[in-house]
């Protein structure tokens, strides 16, 4: 706390404002979470706290929305975790079953062999054209490789099999946003949240997109939900 205060003083933040901000920040952080876990810095003569993608003025509780940081976070959000637990593992299934190829794709991803992972997911889909998770993971890898149109097609195929899949809606929203289809992207962020209200990254991306569309109050509500979810 002393190091933070010293840095804020060096940035010409008034001492009274520093005391107030640090006192309120200590109250706002969850029990056991140290001040060092949060980035605290000066923005002019105001104190800003940042925890992950969320930023706010501790003294007032007002959310600060950094457009530049939000855009970086959106692009990083395209790289979401794989979800091996979403479908039963093949166990002793034969080598050529869809589930076995899917599990093999996950293993290739973990080793960084993305070309082999794509091939494995395609083989799973050749055997089971309604394997939603394989469409999702293949679409994500192709999107990361710069092929957003094909990713969009694959995510739609996933949703034909699993219409309420939050991950499919979320990934589709990111791909649509990269193609400039903002209204459609927002609709899919909202569908993701309808399926999973605790999907923090979907709240954050929806907030950033609403901010971009000029819908400030809705953006703040989603950002507040994101902050609540990531502080528990």
Q: Please report whether residue 31 resides in a domain.
A: yes
What is the distance between the alpha carbons of residues 230 and 10, in angstroms, rounded to a whole number? 30
Please report the DSSP string for 81-141 in residue order.
Answer: PP-GGGS---TT--TTSHHHHHHHHHHHHHHT-HHHHHHHHHHHHHH-TT-HHHHHHHHHH
Residue 36 is predicted with a pLDDT of 66
- Give the H or E element holding residue 43: strand 39-43
Please report the DSSP string for 154-172 in residue order.
Answer: HHHHHHHH-TT-HHHHHHH
Are residues 126 and 26 part of one domain?
Answer: no
Are residues 40 and 82 part of one domain?
Answer: no
Residue 40 is predicted with a pLDDT of 78
Are residues 50 and 145 part of one domain?
Answer: no
Are residues 81 and 58 part of one domain?
Answer: no
User: Model-level pTM?
Assistant: 0.64
Asked if residues 114 and 122 have their Cβ atoms less than 8 Å apart, the reply is no
Q: Read off the pLDDT of each residue in 134-156 and give the average, rounded to a whole number.
A: 92
Q: Read off the pLDDT of each residue in 175-191 and give the average, rounded to a whole number.
A: 93
Residue 80 is predicted with a pLDDT of 37
Q: How confident is the model at residue 32 (pLDDT cuts 50, 70, 90)?
A: low
Percent of the chain with pLDDT over 70: 73
Are residues 33 and 134 part of one domain?
Answer: no
What is the distance between the alpha carbons of residues 82 and 99, in angstroms, rounded to a whole number? 14
Are residues 113 and 30 part of one domain?
Answer: no
Q: Read off the pLDDT of each residue in 160-178 and give the average, rounded to a whole number.
A: 93
Q: Give the CATH number, domain containing residue 224.
A: 1.25.40.10
pLDDT tens digits, 39-75: 777 766 778 877 665 667 777 766 665 544 445 444 4
Q: Please report whether residue 119 resides in a domain.
A: yes
Find the angle CA(207)-CA(208)-CA(211) to the nearest 5 degrees.
85
What is the distance between the alpha carbons of residues 82 and 91, in angstroms, rounded to a whole number? 18
Q: How confident is the model at residue 117 (pLDDT cuts 50, 70, 90)?
A: very high
Are residues 111 and 51 part of one domain?
Answer: no
């Amino acid at each position: 706390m002393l190091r933070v205060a010293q840095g804020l003083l060096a940035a010409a933040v008034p001492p009274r404002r520093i005391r107030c901000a640090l006192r309120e920040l200590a109250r706002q952080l969850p029990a056991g979470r140290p001040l060092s876990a949060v980035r605290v810095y000066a923005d002019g003569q105001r104190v800003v706290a940042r925890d992950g993608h969320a930023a706010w003025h501790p003294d007032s509780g007002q959310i600060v929305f950094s457009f530049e940081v939000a855009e970086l976070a959106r692009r990083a959000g395209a790289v979401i975790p794989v979800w091996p637990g979403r479908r039963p593992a093949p166990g002793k299934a034969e080598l050529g079953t869809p589930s076995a190829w899917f599990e093999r794709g996950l293993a290739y991803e973990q080793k960084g062999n993305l070309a082999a992972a794509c091939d494995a997911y395609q083989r799973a889909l050749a055997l089971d054209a309604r394997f939603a998770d394989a469409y999702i993971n293949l679409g994500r890898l192709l999107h990361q490789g710069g092929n957003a149109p094909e990713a969009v097609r694959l995510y739609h195929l996933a949703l034909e099999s699993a219409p309420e899949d939050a991950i499919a809606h979320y990934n589709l929203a990111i791909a649509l946003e990269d193609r400039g289809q903002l209204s459609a992207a927002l609709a899919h962020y909202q569908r993701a949240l309808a399926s999973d209200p605790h999907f923090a990254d979907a709240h954050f991306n929806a907030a950033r997109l609403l901010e971009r569309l000029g819908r400030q109050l809705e953006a703040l509500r989603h950002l507040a939900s994101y902050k609540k979810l990531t502080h528990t």
